[in-house]
Amino acid sequence: MSTIQTNFEKIKKSIPIRTKLVAVSKTKPMEDIMEVYHCGQRDFGESKAQELLAKYDELPKDINWHMIGHLQSNKVKYIAPFVKLIHSVDSLKLLNAINKEARKNSRVIDCLLQMHIAEEDTKFGLSYEESVEILGSEVYANMKNVRITGLMCMATFTENQDQIRREFTQLTKYFTNLKNSFFMNDDTFCEKSMGMSDDYPLAIEVGSTMVRVGSLIFGSR
Ligand SMILES: *Cc1c(COP(=O)(O)O)cnc(C)c1O
């Protein structure tokens, strides 16, 4: 086994089966992705639309591609035909663009709302109030080609485990509140995408359903 494959197997073993592992392959070459693919992994995450499209074109078609990075409305068209899940919806404008491109492709695109939970103010994401505004809006009610299946967040980049735990816990509270307010009888709203290389074990403890791990598998970028 190669180093990448050894890394992958080790991480895979440390994650409960109920938690989905998204292997974050941004900036990494196709060969590296194929090594992990050959271990059976099918969910990969990228953070740039054009890079995602280029990799989709080259690589096996049974890969589930996750868009995890900040997405501009005018770039949705590159990924709309095939993307499995967009983790980074942070405005109604973006959601609208996704709905439009999904309709052109006669499909429904699953999306997560990216929530701002980090105590630093540099990260993208919605406040709780903004997410309520989107989910309660008439514009959203009329969108037929997007489906919101949960929430995503990134914790503050810090060594402080208590702070990270507090932030992840905050996401689970937002999740419960939004579930009760807008998705009471809707089991498709079920995902909490949280946890990266440095903090995924903590995220799983707090209730993550989906972790996004890059550098621990593929090496540093
Ligand atoms: C890059 C990235 C990851 C993976 O980060 P690692 O620290 O390499 O595991 C996860 N989520 C998002 C949104 C990212 O941009």
Q: Is the CB of 26 under 6 A from ligand 1?
A: yes
Tokens of 42: 């099918």
Q: What is the pLDDT of residue 30?
A: 98
**Atom number, ligand 1, closest to the C-alpha of residue 88:** 13
Kindly report the pTM of this predicted structure.
0.97
Residue 110 phi, psi (nearest 5): -75, 140
What pLDDT is stored for residue 119 in this prediction?
79
Does ligand 1 have an atom closer than 6 angstroms to the CB of 154? yes
Q: Which of 196, 221, 220, 217 is CA-nearest to residue 33?
A: 217
Spacing, Cα 189 to ligand 1 middle (Å): 23
Indicate if the pLDDT at residue 120 is higher than 90: no
What digits encode the pLDDT tens for the residues 61-110? 999 999 999 999 999 999 999 999 999 999 999 999 999 999 999 999 99
- Please count the structural domains in the chain: 1
For residue 183, report the distance from its CA to the centre of ligand 1, in Å: 28
For residue 118, the model assigns a pLDDT of 83
Residue 122's CATH number: 3.20.20.10
Q: Output the CA 69–ligand 1 centroid distance in Å.
A: 9
213: CA distance to ligand 1 center in Å? 6
What is the rounded distance in angstroms from the CA atom of residue 206 to the CA atom of residue 215?
A: 22
122 pLDDT more than 80: no
Query: How many residues make up the chain in this entry?
Result: 221
pLDDT classification of 123: cutoffs 50, 70, 90: low
- Say how far apart CA 101 and CA 109 lie, in whole Å: 9
Q: Would the CB of 75 count as within 6 Å of ligand 1?
A: no
Closest ligand 1 atom to residue 215 Cα is: 8
Residue 168 has pLDDT above 70, yes or no: yes
Tokens representing 65 are 């591609």
- Which residue range is the domain that position 198 belongs to? 3-218
